[in-house]
């Protein structure tokens, strides 16, 4: 077999595996995220909770929309430098990184459906909140704001 055929075949197999993975994710009820209400500044949101490695890796991939006051709250097992990218994420998003006290450390606007840019936290964070792009600005939310959750969540 020639080298070009093997490259195309490998790409095709990886593509099929990703399709099977995505199908399993959306048809498997264990991947349905719990939701809760959170408050940040004077704004309230309903957030899906991504508290496991599987849920964090899928995030908001392949979604076509996100409600006006909805988002996804990522909870990590420990405070560390965090990184996000927008692979297969179709919605323009903003991300806020939070410390263990729920204090907003930094905010980034993320470009949809690309892998060229990685959005790294500059400080150690244990939570990340993804919302529609511009949500933080529209609601006057700046670093230092405190995230108030209706229940404690812990990353697994």
pTM above 0.85, yes or no: no
pLDDT of the residue at 89: 96
Give yes or no for residue 88 having a pLDDT over 80. Answer: yes
Backbone angles phi, psi at 25, to 5 degrees: -60, -50
pLDDT of the residue at 33: 74
CATH, domain range 33-149: 2.60.120.1140
């Amino acid at each position: 077999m020639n080298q070009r055929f093997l490259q195309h075949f490998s790409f095709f197999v990886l593509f099929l595996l990703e399709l099977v993975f995505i199908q399993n994710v959306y048809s498997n009820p264990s991947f349905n995220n719990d939701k809760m209400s959170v408050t940040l500044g004077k704004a309230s949101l309903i957030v899906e909770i991504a508290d496991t490695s599987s849920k964090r890796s899928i995030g908001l991939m392949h979604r076509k929309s996100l409600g006006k006051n909805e988002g996804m709250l990522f909870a990590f097992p420990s405070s560390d430098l965090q990184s996000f990218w927008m692979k297969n994420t179709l919605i323009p998003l903003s991300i806020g990184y939070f410390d263990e006290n729920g204090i907003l450390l930094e905010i980034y606007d993320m470009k949809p459906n690309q892998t060229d840019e990685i959005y790294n936290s500059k400080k150690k964070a244990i939570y990340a909140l993804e919302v529609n792009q511009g949500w933080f600005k529209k609601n006057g939310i700046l670093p230092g704001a405190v995230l108030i959750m209706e229940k404690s969540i812990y990353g697994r």
